[in-house]
Amino acid sequence: MTLVAIILATLAAGIGSVWLAALLMGAGLKGGGGSVGPQRLLSLAAGALLATAFMHLLPEAFESQAQAHDLFATLLVGLVFFFLLDKAELWHHGHEHSHGAPPAAGHGATGHDHAAAVLQGRAHAHAHPQGHEHDPTHDQAHHHGPKAGGWTMLAGDSVHCFGDGILIASAFMADMRLGVIAAVSVLAHEVPHHMGDLVVLRQASLNRRMALVKVSLAGAVTALGGLVGYFLVGQLHDWLPYFLIVASSSFVYVALADLIPQLQKRLSARETGAQIVWLLAGMGLVMLVSGAAHIH
């Protein structure tokens, strides 16, 4: 039963986040303005990740028989590891997309930055319909760089999704409720990231369906990570608290290093209030899922 739940949850988080990102991009997020939509998504994801780490994963790990000193050391190592991993990803983005990166993503932007930049561009193009069509010279300018970068990005995404699967499986092995919460949190924070992935691949090819298929295949690797995580955690049950700590360090790092900094910009009082509301909504979502999935 646990294995089936892991497979379903990892597929929902891995592939579901890709399709949700595609739907949001298809809608253009025009209801709240091109630059507001991504900000709300980032706020929602940040709130969900922080609530999951501090209210569920960390308490569960510290309730075990493991020494607090060892758990804190693992947390520290995990944060440093994800910092270095992020550095490597930024380095690759800077080299692969420097020729075609939009101005808003000019300093080694991650997928979240690409999403915000392109949605702003979509809003501008919507205001000037003639400029919304494909420009052959623009496609030629981006033909070589983004194509190679697209495959590099897919390889990196596959590794990241594999790790997400292991983290979800670790949470499910601790408690079914934690697993569902972890899966929802992964889905929430992957949506803005996959929006950026789709942007990069659509720059490399005019075939939008193929871009969606490629990112979906990368997202499906989450299920493979879930299978490996299930058997790994099952054999090393005593290490479960440490897997939960690593999961927490991942969520905390993504929220504080990737998401929150993108929210720290000068906005109107209304937009700032919307950020806070969506941040709290992310936390409330975790609490809602926690209550609905509570199983003893």
For the chain, what is the total number of helices (H) and then of strands (E)?
Answer: 12, 0
DSSP H/E element including 273: helix 269-292
Q: List the structure tokens of 234.
A: 């099952």
Dist CA 243 CA 249 (whole Å): 10
DSSP-based helix, strand, coil % in the chain, nearest 5: 85, 0, 15
Q: What does the pLDDT average to over 57-74?
A: 91
pLDDT at 250: 84
For residue 62, count other CB atoms closer than 10 A to its CB.
Answer: 14
Backbone angles phi, psi at 108, to 5 degrees: 60, 50
Give the model confidence (pLDDT) of 227-254 as tens digits: 998 888 777 677 878 888 888 888 888 8
**C-alpha closest to that of 117 among 17, 203, 38, 31:** 38
- Which residue matches tokens 């910092």? 83
Give the model confidence (pLDDT) of 75-114 as tens digits: 999 999 888 877 776 676 565 555 544 444 444 444 444 5
pLDDT at 204: 61
10 pLDDT above the threshold of 90: yes
The larger pLDDT score, comparing residue 159 to residue 227, is at 227
pLDDT at 132: 43
28 pLDDT above the threshold of 80: no
Judged by average pLDDT, the poorest of 69-73, 115-119, 232-236 is 115-119
For residue 259, count other CB atoms closer than 10 A to its CB.
Answer: 26
pLDDT band at 276 (very low <50, low <70, confident <90, very high): very high
Range of the domain at 222: 2-292
Give the model confidence (pLDDT) of 193-225 as tens digits: 777 677 767 766 667 788 888 889 989 999 999
pLDDT band at 123 (very low <50, low <70, confident <90, very high): very low
pLDDT band at 4 (very low <50, low <70, confident <90, very high): very high
164 pLDDT above the threshold of 60: yes
155 pLDDT above the threshold of 50: yes
The larger pLDDT score, comparing residue 146 to residue 10, is at 10
How many independent structural domains does the chain possess?
1
- The CA–CA distances, whole Å, from 123 to 7, 27, 31, 36 equal 38, 11, 11, 11
Which one-letter DSSP state was computed for residue 56?
I
Residues 196, 259 contacting (CB under 8 angstroms): no
Q: What does the pLDDT average to over 132-155?
A: 47
- Which residue matches tokens 């440490």? 242
* pTM beyond 0.85: no
